[in-house]
Structure 1
Amino acid sequence: MAGLQSGAFRSGEVDSPYAWLRLVLTVILGTVACVGNWSVVVALPAIQVEFDTLRGGASLPYTCAMLGFSFGGVVMGRLADRFTIVMPVLIGALMLCAGFVAAAYTASIWQFALVYAFIGVGSAAGFAPLISDLSHWFRKRRALAVAFAASGSYLAGTVWPLVIEHFQTTQGWRPTHVGIGLFAPLVMVPIAFALRRRPATTEIAAAEAATEAARQELGLKPNVLQAVLVVAGFACCMAMSMPQVHIVAYCGDLGYGVAVGTQILSLMLGLGVVSRLASGVVADRIGAGPMLILGSSMQAAALLLYLFFNSRSSLYVISGLFGLFQGGIVPMYAVIIRQFLPPREAGTRIGLVLMATVLGMACGGLLSGMIYDASGSYRLAFLHGFLWNGVNLALVSWLILWPKLRRRRDMVLAG
């Protein structure tokens, strides 16, 4: 594949200072590109008033953004596999510019939602393809590198809500959208050209052999493993979506105000970055699978806390814990893919699993809004998320236990 051929990159540069420089540029790029995931969350209360709709209707643009983001992740990942990371980033920058400017001129909730689907595709350039690209430049610290690459979306959730809330309050949501549309390509285009360097064919060939050996030991066919990871990713993000998508509106309903909800969201996602980096360090020691089980278990515990406490101080504490507990889950899917599945297909395969996680966020965000409209509170929505978390925990636990069960079965049959 063109994107994995090279002459410029030497094998000695894996885990090198250049690789770490590339990591820094990747994080900056992801932070800017993923603005589309969070701008609509901050704008949700204003959009509900502007277009005179219910909470479920106001959640529709977020769902459309996530649908675009999920579909775009696969497409952008495929482009990265074939043409290097430069192509998807340039396309994403153009789409974000056009999408945010167009959103400022929409006249109905349906127009706004459709434009956000377009924005979501553009934002996808800052997630799955960046994770896939960076994974080729690290071996010993791959989990940590992938966690860094995945942190761009959370850094976007930490920085952008505060910026957007400020300008939305002082200038209005429409001028704020225009400003975002003009800013994004100014950062993304130069970084895209700075990432033109390609990994060597020899490195990819060695990685192919390593993943083949690991896959044989695991005892699962590639598409079976892919399917398990897709369902697990969808389930974990159905659970994850409730606090992330609705915490701003939830705080408004409780009388604490949108500003407090925005601060809590930024705290949650900021600590999510800490969680992602810490999980990368731990996963490089104990493995991505055990780290995935640990993260899923702790996320379930945090969701239960939301059912019993809703004071302002407790929401700060619980949301902080939620960020610390769940931030490391999604990057582990990418690390598992790079450990067991062909590296030449990394962009597409990581894109497929991350598409499932984003679809989980989209569906979970919409269903939480609908549950709120039907019940008049978010209590059942939190319980709904906890049940989906149980599905995720069951799947990832089976995935880790399967090799041991398989070996035991083979020993019984051989005996």
Structure 2
Amino acid sequence: MAMKKIYYGWYLVAACILIYMAVIGTGSAAYGLYVKPVAAEFDLSRATMNTGMILFNVGMALTALVVGRLIDRFPLRPIMIVSGIVLGGCMALLGLSDNLMLDAFVIVLPLAAGTVGAGTLTVTVLLARWFTKQRGRVLALAAMGMSLSNLTVIPVIGHLIAQYGWRHALVLSGIGIAVVVCALAMIVRDRPNPDEVEPGKPSVAVAGAPALGVRLTVRDILTNPHFWLIGIGAGIGLAIMQTLGVSLVPLATDGGLTIVQATSLLSVMGITAVASKLTLAVVADYFDRSTLLASCFTLLAIANATLLIDHSYGVLLAICVLIGMASGTGAPLYYALVADRFGTISLGTVRGLMTPLTAALAAVFLRFGGEVFDRTGSYRVMFVSFAAAAVIAALLLLAPRIFPTKPELALTPAT
């Protein structure tokens, strides 16, 4: 009896897990580890350090508009290879540079473009093209790479910083990311061949999604109410996650914890996020994605409210569990929800247009968090504001269910 051939898309899922681990683990996830040593060397405030992440988000917003259009029109493999080289080179340059203006330029343009092209945008488009019936499951599995980076890449970077300094850590990270992305990009194929059929049957969530087989114009996308509800709602939730991630290590060390203890908090967050993604992989295609995402942001509201009570190590561990559950499910649900609502033909363009919206929200929240600390000496006002904002984000995502938009008005592409 001949062995059943494995669907090639599953090999791409495995590759995307590793790409996420490398790109996210050495980039945004590790940013909090660099905050205090870089601030000490350049005599920068906490708000100024958060501005570095703001510049990064602004850069991704600007470059995603271009990269998203390129993804819809050109093969993904060369885009990923060039982006991986650019990303690695920029990280090495940041480790060698003493010029803050040069650093800002590198972060806002080439580093951001490399990150978008190497993985954060290309991975979701690639997997959405290969999987329709199991899209939620696949995106959840691939996103495990983001969480696994907290268990694998983050401890390594923390060790490198402690032993050799932040500059050497950046240079070595740059070399590693370039090698990993370029190697994995070699197996990438844009779409399945006609004889490659995704196994399984359509799930409940996917069966109710619209099938858009034509390319949407920018006007179609921007006049779609779902674009704004999803973009603003998800953008607020993701901004809260990112700001908490950047602030967690400084918050812990300000309270007397060592860098090793603070790093262990990120590991707990990563373990919880992995477990959440595994759970999501089972249920994602059988429940309404907007409801699941709203529930995820409700956890963020609870986490911020709890941070108002205590900052002891035990409480911070519990908070990391809540944040891990939210971060573990938030991103893949957001990506799947966008793909369901707009189809895959124009997914690169839709994600490219939505990125400036989410990046602007992230910039506001990051700067707000830094300013709150610098002006008050604590994050208390930030926690109160974030708890309320997380509730608003959940309501925005539930709005289409409460006040549904007619499909023919919301999703019909231009002829």
Give me the TM-score of the superposition, normalised by structure 1. Answer: 0.84
CA separation in 1, counterparts of 2:101 and 2:51? 8
Match of 2:112 among 101, 115, 120: 120
Give 1:358 shift. 4.1
Give 1:61 shift. 1.6
Contact 1:239 1:386 survives alignment (8 Å) = no
- Structure 2's unaligned 5+ residue stretches are 214-219, 408-415
Structure 1 residues 135-171: Cα deviation after superposition (integer angstroms, max 9, x where no partner): 1212221101112233333333443321111111111
Give 1:212 shift. 4.4
Partner of 2:240: 239
CA separation in 1, counterparts of 2:147 and 2:361? 17
Partner of 2:96: 105
**Aligned residue pairs: how many?**
385
Give 1:406 shift. 6.8
Match of 1:137 among 130, 137, 148: 130
Partner of 2:78: 87
Partner of 1:26: 16
Contact 2:126 2:191 survives alignment (8 Å) = no
Secondary structure, aligned partner of 1:191:
helix
Contact 1:240 1:385 survives alignment (8 Å) = no
Contact 2:129 2:190 survives alignment (8 Å) = no
Match of 1:150 among 108, 130, 143: 143
Secondary structure, aligned partner of 1:199:
coil
Give the 3 Å change call, closer, same or farther, for CA 145–354 of structure 1 in structure 2: farther
Match of 2:87 among 79, 96, 109: 96
Partner of 1:260: 261
Give 1:227 shift. 1.9
CA separation in 2, counterparts of 1:101 and 1:134? 30
* Residue 57, structure 1, aligned to residue 48, structure 2: yes
Give the 3 Å change call, closer, same or farther, for CA 249–229 of structure 1 in structure 2: same
Contact 1:233 1:357 survives alignment (8 Å) = yes
CA separation in 2, counterparts of 1:39 and 1:240? 14
CA separation in 2, counterparts of 1:85 and 1:406? 34
CA separation in 2, counterparts of 1:66 and 1:261? 24
Read off the aligned partner of 1:113 and give its amino acid letter.
Answer: A
Structure 1 residues 267-313: Cα deviation after superposition (integer angstroms, max 9, x where no partner): 21332233233224222111212211221222211221111121111
Read off the aligned partner of 1:140 and give its amino acid letter.
Answer: K
Give the 3 Å change call, closer, same or farther, for CA 382–202 of structure 1 in structure 2: farther
Structure 1 residues 200-239: Cα deviation after superposition (integer angstroms, max 9, x where no partner): 58999x99x962489xxxxxx7522112211112211232
Partner of 1:396: 397
CA separation in 1, counterparts of 2:62 and 2:125? 16
Give 1:102 shift. 1.1
Contact 2:47 2:367 survives alignment (8 Å) = yes
Secondary structure, aligned partner of 1:273:
helix
Structure 1 residues 361-390: Cα deviation after superposition (integer angstroms, max 9, x where no partner): 343222201110011101111112112212
Give 1:179 shift. 0.9
CA separation in 2, counterparts of 1:156 and 1:260? 17
Contact 1:29 1:187 survives alignment (8 Å) = yes
Partner of 1:367: 368
CA separation in 2, counterparts of 1:37 and 1:106? 19
Structure 1 residues 238-287: Cα deviation after superposition (integer angstroms, max 9, x where no partner): 32233211001001111112222222123213322332332242221112
CA separation in 1, counterparts of 2:150 and 2:70? 26
CA separation in 1, counterparts of 2:209 and 2:162? 53
Secondary structure, aligned partner of 2:132:
coil
* Residue 43, structure 1, aligned to residue 26, structure 2: no
Contact 1:101 1:177 survives alignment (8 Å) = yes
CA separation in 2, counterparts of 1:275 and 1:83? 34
Contact 2:295 2:394 survives alignment (8 Å) = no
Partner of 1:229: 230
Read off the aligned partner of 1:55 and give its amino acid letter.
Answer: R
CA separation in 2, counterparts of 1:266 and 1:290? 28
CA separation in 2, counterparts of 1:365 and 1:245? 8
Contact 2:151 2:270 survives alignment (8 Å) = yes
Give the 3 Å change call, closer, same or farther, for CA 282–159 of structure 1 in structure 2: same
Contact 1:272 1:326 survives alignment (8 Å) = yes
Contact 1:211 1:338 survives alignment (8 Å) = no
After superposition, where does 1:162-173 map in structure 2 within 5 Å? 162-173=155-166
Contact 1:65 1:120 survives alignment (8 Å) = yes
Give the 3 Å change call, closer, same or farther, for CA 281–76 of structure 1 in structure 2: farther
Structure 1 residues 36-94: Cα deviation after superposition (integer angstroms, max 9, x where no partner): 21333211100110100111112222222222234344433332221132132112212
Structure 1 residues 163-211: Cα deviation after superposition (integer angstroms, max 9, x where no partner): 111111111111111111111121111211111353358999x99x962
CA separation in 2, counterparts of 1:375 and 1:243? 17
Partner of 2:69: 78
Structure 1 residues 337-372: Cα deviation after superposition (integer angstroms, max 9, x where no partner): 222213210122134335533443343222201110
CA separation in 1, counterparts of 2:394 and 2:196? 34
- Over the matched positions of the two proteins, sequence identity in percent amounts to 23
Give the 3 Å change call, closer, same or farther, for CA 406–116 of structure 1 in structure 2: closer
CA separation in 1, counterparts of 2:401 and 2:354? 17
Secondary structure, aligned partner of 2:311:
coil
Give the 3 Å change call, closer, same or farther, for CA 371–109 of structure 1 in structure 2: farther
CA separation in 2, counterparts of 1:380 and 1:173? 31
Secondary structure, aligned partner of 2:145:
helix
